[in-house]
Amino acid sequence: MVEFKNVTKIYKGKTPAVSNANIKIEKGEFCCFIGTSGSGKTTLMRMINRMNSITSGQVLINGEDVNSFNAVDLRRKIGYVIQNNGLMPHMTIKDNIILVPKLLKWPKEKLEQRAKELIQLAELPESYLDRYPSELSGGQQQRIGVVRALAADQDLILMDEPFGALDPITRENLQDLVQKLQQDTGKTFVFVTHDMDEALKLATHIVIMHDGQVVQNDTPTNILQKPANEFVENLIGEERLAEAKHDTVQVQEVMLKTPVKINLGASLKEALVLMKERHVDTLLVTDDTDHLKGMISVDRLEQKYHKASGVSDILEKQLYTVKPDAYLRDTVDRILKRGVSYVPVVDDNHILVGIVTRSALVNLVYNTIWGDNDPLAETKTNSSNKGADSENE
Ligand code: ADP
Ligand code: MG
């Protein structure tokens, strides 16, 4: 969809704002440019719709050099959203949103219909079409700014730190809106931000800029798991790096390899003795070749002690198990939600190889989220209301 080939931008008398950028953005991607202030993000983006000229190299849209288009036509074919929405204060919301379709000379009925569709997409009431921008909250104005970029059904939408001026709650609502619009329409989005949380929430593709250089150009997962250098690591932050590391932890790395188990042929007396010896209230039951057959609990054992003869008579066969090579991130929630104290780990042949205990998981989760800090102290500060205005107020 968009391709940068050896693109360099030098403003007069300065060091390059963008140096030799090579980036390919596929159709339907949500691509975030992220980096510190002055790293060249805006410049890079504005070379796509030729709001900035290209010093050397090429920017291609669907294989065609942007310089081969008429610049005004090109800009109308690409949606553009900026930080302070750029709405015209003396025009109604309706006139603001249909500005580009009007310039493209759409017939009147189509314009009317489009205005109604767009206000709906913005999740605002139709009556707002007749209002002026100043009669809307900052968040509502930016909702209009966002849908306006889609007004002429542009396939490519550029957004330059569109939510930078909004409070955190409104910002999250707008991120949700943009994400939904992108997923529903399948359009290609290029989005500049300096906020890693925003990039990780929205992006399917991240380009990290530093001093005009593209330092990493990859998927969010790869960036988290294989940061290209220290600059990227710092941008991601220690907390997220730790989290990402845990993301690749497998069950076998945290499992206990010596579960307390008993043979299927054992007597209830043997089971009871073993439970007492090892201070456990359940035993995993295996056959002679270590295949997991089920488990027995002390409650049931005591209930049936005089009626049943062996372990196999009181066996509970329905057991939730995990595989050793499963990722913890995929299993931890299910394990914790089940409220069990451990989960048996079995290999592909259903041979018991270990257990994952609830306490091991809880430790791991706490370490990931809170590091060395006291979790309770941390929760208290987070729940205090910081007084952010919500968009609907
Ligand atoms: P970012 O969007 O990442 O903050 P920019 O692309 O705006 O970065 O700027 C990159 C570099 O180019 C900065 O050093 C900035 O000062 C410079 N720059 C941006 N626009 C201009 C301009 N119109 N004239 C001269 N220098 C500029
Ligand atoms: Mg910028």
pLDDT tens figures, 170-212: 889 889 999 999 999 999 999 999 999 999 999 999 999 999 9
Below-70 pLDDT ranges, the chain: 245-247, 364-393
Question: What 8-state DSSP symbol labels residue 169?
Answer: H
Instruction: Tell me the HSE value of 60 on the side-chain side, using a 13 A CA sphere.
Output: 15
Q: Which of 265, 290, 262 shows the shortest CA–CA distance to 351?
A: 290
3-state secondary structure of 286: strand
Structure tokens at 52: 């900035």
Domains present along the chain, CATH in parentheses? 2-241 (3.40.50.300), 251-387 (3.10.580.10)
- pLDDT at residue 39, rounded to an integer: 94
- pLDDT at residue 368, rounded to an integer: 58
Q: Which of 37, 2, 58, 56 shows the shortest CA–CA distance to 217?
A: 2
Q: From atom 2 of ligand 1, which residue's Cα is the shortest distance away?
A: 42
- pLDDT at residue 112, rounded to an integer: 94
* Residue where the block lists tokens 């550029």: 158
- pLDDT at residue 374, rounded to an integer: 44
- pLDDT at residue 253, rounded to an integer: 86
Residue type, 59: V
Is the CB of 38 inside a 6 Å radius of any atom of ligand 1?
A: yes
- pLDDT at residue 393, rounded to an integer: 36
Report CA(42)–ligand 2 centroid distance (Å). Answer: 4
Tell me the helix, strand and coil percentages in the chain, rounded to 5: 40, 25, 35
The predicted model scores a pTM of 0.69
- pLDDT at residue 237, rounded to an integer: 87
- If 0-12 CB within 10 Å is exposed, 13-18 middle and 19+ buried, where does residue 95 land? middle
Q: From atom 10 of ligand 1, which residue's Cα is the shortest distance away?
A: 40
* Cα separation, 178 vs 183, whole angstroms: 9
Q: Which of 156, 159, 124, 160 shows the shortest CA–CA distance to 139?
A: 124
- pLDDT at residue 345, rounded to an integer: 94
Nearest-ligand number for the alpha carbon of 161:
2
- pLDDT at residue 371, rounded to an integer: 52
Is the CB of 40 inside a 6 Å radius of any atom of ligand 1?
A: yes
Q: Which of 162, 194, 164, 7 shows the shortest CA–CA distance to 86?
A: 162
* Cα separation, 194 vs 165, whole angstroms: 12
Report CA(286)–ligand 2 centroid distance (Å). Answer: 63
* Cα separation, 89 vs 96, whole angstroms: 9
Question: Could you list which residues have their CB under 5 Å from ion ligand 2?
Answer: 42
